[in-house]
A and B are shown apart, each in its own frame.
Chain A
Amino acid sequence: MSWFWQSVNSSVGKKIVMAFTGILLVVYLVIHLAGNLTLYGGEKAFDSYAGVLEVIKPLIRIIEVLLALVFIFHIFNGIRVWWGNKKAKPIDYAVNAKSKNSTLFSRTMIHTGVIVLIFLVLHLVTIWYPYNAGGGEVNLYKIVSGRFADPIYAWFYIVAMALLGFHLNHGFQSAFQTLGWNHKKYFSLIQTIGTIYATLTAIGFASLPIYFLYFHGR
């Protein structure tokens, strides 16, 4: 299997790992967001969604393990690519003209990625952990609405989601390019879909803390 690891660790291979795990995460975010949006239906709707998760717990546990692996590969590999790329350009130019040949989104993947990672850790510690550690007794709606009512927590959440949008905007089309799916006819469509997806995802997630902070129960 040495050829396999050699391929995965090559410059092209590392990118393919990023693209593949990235696409899985794109799909996961859609499912996660769909679940979150039941919060708009009020406590009952959200509780019944949480109830469904409870019923299929064994399946959720398996998905969680796979998801953790996907996240770890994406994060570890992303940092490795960034580090290797930094070493490949030890001296930068005195005049910075990067805005003339590339987008801000594409140049800041490591920055937006790291902030989303910090968010992810916080998210696991403040929502996922209390819910899962507390057994069936804790009310997920109470945890979530409580967190979102805290302005500092809510605003960090909103900013992180905006940056997640930046990350997805570049990442979506980038994954297609890396997997070799760049066709003259369809690629601009893929880029547009990516931007729409990124915008809707960011707005979808960020709208919840805004709702709980400023509109809920007023």
Chain B
Amino acid sequence: MNNNMKLNLKLKIWRQSSAKSVGSFVDYKVSVSPDASFLEMLDEINNELEKNNQDPIVFESDCREGICGTCGLVINGEPHGPLRKVATCQLHMRNFKDGQTIWVEPFRAKAFPVIKDLAVDRSAFDKIIQAGGYISVNTGGVPDANSIPIAKDIASEAFDSAACIGCGACVAACKNSSAMLFVSAKVTQFALLPQGQPERQQRVEAMVAKMDEFGFGSCSNTYACEAECPKGISVRNIARLNHEYLSAKVKSTNVEV
């Protein structure tokens, strides 16, 4: 490609050598194709840095097609950048203007400590899933397909909730670092389906308790999470979580916690 079709950008990227050290923004100048994705641009910077024997910028990515949820970065103050319903890996440089300054920061939350540079530790999400984000399946013969009837609209709604990729952008966007959009998507997905019924009450109780244990905040309904979620998970899931939690607490026989 012709060089003058490239975008010249100034990047201010958060560099932090370890969890304990103090970080700061470092300036980088790049000339990048408008067709490159945001992560490809970072790859190019890293190639240069490595060539010069410098420490490359640490960031996470895996699928690079918006389904694994590892690639969250905060770009100009917004998780996954300015475009709606896309992950960072699907954000292309044509969405930025020539000469623009772009700030790149890691997700900020007490429960998501920085590991290095732009990579944060999101294992709290795994622990929340382990607390109840599953269904128990007993062994035995394979059940017939479609032996349990589920209405199409219910199945679709459960599927919408199941589209959550666990990226953590909801926590990053929330001024309270609340994980409720994530947790509610998981709770809703199972609460709607017959397979989720046996563990329904204990699931919501255990997942909320785990979420609180990690120090995620309390939802104050700013709905920033829904706006920034790459999968467009609706805050109606949070309403359902609240309702599920309330009814579980009232009805369950669990008096321990």
Contacts and interface: CB of A to CB of B under 8 A. Distances in A.
A178 interface: yes
Contacts of B220: 15, 81, 85, 106, 109, 174
B209 A10 contact: yes
B158 to A, nearest CB: 15
B222 A95 contact: no
Contacts of B180: 11-12
Interface in A153-193: 170, 173-174, 177-184, 187
A89 B240 CA distance: 25
A11 B208 contact: yes
How large, as a class, is the contact surface on chain A? 35 or more
A89 B109 contact: yes
Contacts of A98: 77, 175, 224
A179 B216 CA distance: 20
A94 interface: yes
B249 interface: yes
Interface stretch (B2-10, B57-65, B231-239): B231-239
Given A93-B77, A95-B76, A84 B217 contact: yes
Contact of A95 (B105, B173, B209, B224): B105
Given A94-B25, A184-B236, A101 B227 contact: yes
B239 A182 contact: yes
B222 A102 contact: yes
Given A101-B227, A102-B224, A85 B218 contact: yes
Interface in B52-92: 74, 76-78, 82
Interface centre among B25, B211, B218, B243 (most CB of A within 10 A): B218
Contacts of B238: 177, 182
21 contacts: A2-B255, A11-B208, A12-B242, A12-B246, A84-B217, A85-B177, A87-B110, A88-B217, A89-B177, A94-B25, A95-B77, A96-B77, A98-B224, A101-B78, A102-B224, A106-B220, A178-B239, A179-B243, A179-B246, A180-B244, A182-B238
